[in-house]
Structure 1
């Protein structure tokens, strides 16, 4: 592919499809442009017509793939790999939402088939807050890394802004906060420290037919021990999370998606000078993600989450969910 504008087509007009489409329209058209969107829901397509009238609404997934240089798959998880395989078979790039699949064996087969011809949308790959953590770590401010702690919590699940997706997002087959949220923080451990392994976990599903309401786990990222906890109902916040890396001389952490902090010798936590809430940080990360998508579509090196990284995360996530507490 030449350096012409990369045409991105979107399959799935839910929250994430709409979010990325809005981000594409904010970018320099010489880099990327939206060539079309499709969703099987007529209601979703009517919403796209009202919100993004200039973006073509295409008739099916095949039409999106045909129009695209790179296909962004933002449909529910069980459909991800079908669309991804169709895109790659047509010679197009694939950029998809996590998880790759809810079927680990199928995801392994896909990654083996696809090689480096796709990437997954883990925005921490483009986060300025994560860059601040990495800088502190590289400068030796925490000393020798010793452990990672991850905590996530929600007032309710799904979160209020996800209410339209409750039909799958609160079902154990495809949904739940471990797939939707915890996966991001496992990716962060994988990206900054190393491969994930040696899992021991429990997951609680108190209501029949609904997704998990609590998890606990221990595992390792590279050589470091990781502790993980997540629960619905234990916080007044819609969405609360902390990822912390502790060393023998200090610690750094990421709070509520976008606030990088380091622990000072007196025990207090100091935010990064450019720390900002997620509402302000998200557009900046999405811009960098789309720059990576353009490189992916052109066959160039990129910084996006690789298929191999996404598979590593998915294997841990599905293993956690399989450890149902009795």
Structure 2
């Protein structure tokens, strides 16, 4: 690693791995270079070779780690900590997809041993819409915060663009919308309001061996009560979500990932006039995430989700899923 450039290696060539790879290739070469990608799937590696032939394809995880200053881990959750521990042992920084692990105790131990050399990819840390919400909150649009609500709904699970990963995304061990989607909104809640406590929840698993189809939960974040609901088959949308913060003077909300809105005195909602679609907002957030990765790798302060924040989210998620 030089003072100005870091090398990023990627483990996992699925949807998220390829998305992050393309974002990394769009970064200025003076800030970040891609040292390679590795996936145990021959088909996945062949797909990357055909689409992005200039990207080095490493022969295994060890070679990928050796070639990198920071390792981005986008493999299925059960493999996250094995790769993360190997990277840290080699003196590399780690940027991991959520959840940290499928086992809460193992994730807790990892957070204790890893120190500050790791972060987790919760893109709301870099979201333009979340930045606008926080501007509104800071300006007094909400007044004194009083409550948070989170609502997610899906036409089917997995979502249409995830069907190739249904083998693990729709199984109880690693999958489900609570881990995959609700975790993002829990991260946002924790970052805005504070640590979690007082969880009461119920998850419904109507199909044996498959992931949850409905959840309900109440908890607190900092001093704020939080109400959470999630369901499959309750909307015609591929993916619908609303995160709302209400206060004594108003309210703000985030709709469908990328649209910030605030409630006017007459009760109507006004969208941010500069709001972007999710397709427009995603590359901006990924670019900011990668800027944070560079700072993380250099040991500088960064805005990414910390391992502690990610563990706190995972702990809540897994407790909800065990409430069936």
Q: Does 1:29 align with 2:29?
A: yes
Cα displacement (A) at 1:4:
3.1
Match of 1:255 in 2: 255
**Can you list the C-alpha shifts for 1:151-199, whole angstroms capped at 9, x where unaligned?**
0001110011111111101000000000000000000000111001110
Match of 1:157 in 2: 157
Match of 1:92 in 2: 92
Match of 1:115 in 2: 115
**Can you list the C-alpha shifts for 1:176-226, whole angstroms capped at 9, x where unaligned?**
000000000000000111001110000000001100011000000101000
Structural mapping, 1:274-285, within 5 Å:
274-285=274-285
**Can you list the C-alpha shifts for 1:230-251, whole angstroms capped at 9, x where unaligned?**
0000001000000000001100
Structure 1: runs of 5+ lacking an equivalent: none
Cα displacement (A) at 1:102:
1.2
Q: Does 1:218 align with 2:218?
A: yes
Q: Does 1:60 align with 2:77?
A: no
Cα displacement (A) at 1:51:
1.1
Distance, in Å, in 1 between the alignment partners of 2:52 and 2:169 is 25
Distance, in Å, in 2 between the alignment partners of 1:62 and 1:82 is 11
Cα displacement (A) at 1:148:
0.2
Match of 1:127 in 2: 127
Match of 2:82 in 1: 82
Cα displacement (A) at 1:16:
0.3
Cα displacement (A) at 1:2:
3.6
Match of 1:201 in 2: 201
Contact 1:261 1:270 in 2 (8 A): yes
Contact 1:219 1:225 in 2 (8 A): yes
Secondary structure of 1:273's match?
A: coil
Distance, in Å, in 2 between the alignment partners of 1:313 and 1:60 is 31
Distance, in Å, in 2 between the alignment partners of 1:321 and 1:14 is 25
Distance, in Å, in 1 between the alignment partners of 2:196 and 2:272 is 28
Q: Does 1:294 align with 2:294?
A: yes
Cα displacement (A) at 1:279:
0.5
Secondary structure of 1:188's match?
A: helix
Match of 2:235 in 1: 235
Contact 1:2 1:298 in 2 (8 A): no
Match of 2:268 in 1: 268
TM-score (norm 2): 0.99
Cα displacement (A) at 1:258:
0.4
Cα displacement (A) at 1:274:
1.1
**Can you list the C-alpha shifts for 1:57-103, whole angstroms capped at 9, x where unaligned?**
11111111001000000000011001000000000000000000110
Cα displacement (A) at 1:7:
0.5
Aligned alpha-carbon RMSD (Å)? 0.7
After the TM superposition, list the runs of 4 or more consecutive aligned residues in structure 1 that deviate by more than 2 angstroms. Answer: none
Distance, in Å, in 1 between the alignment partners of 2:46 and 2:2 is 34
TM-score (norm 1): 0.98
Match of 2:316 in 1: 316
Distance, in Å, in 1 between the alignment partners of 2:196 and 2:274 is 30
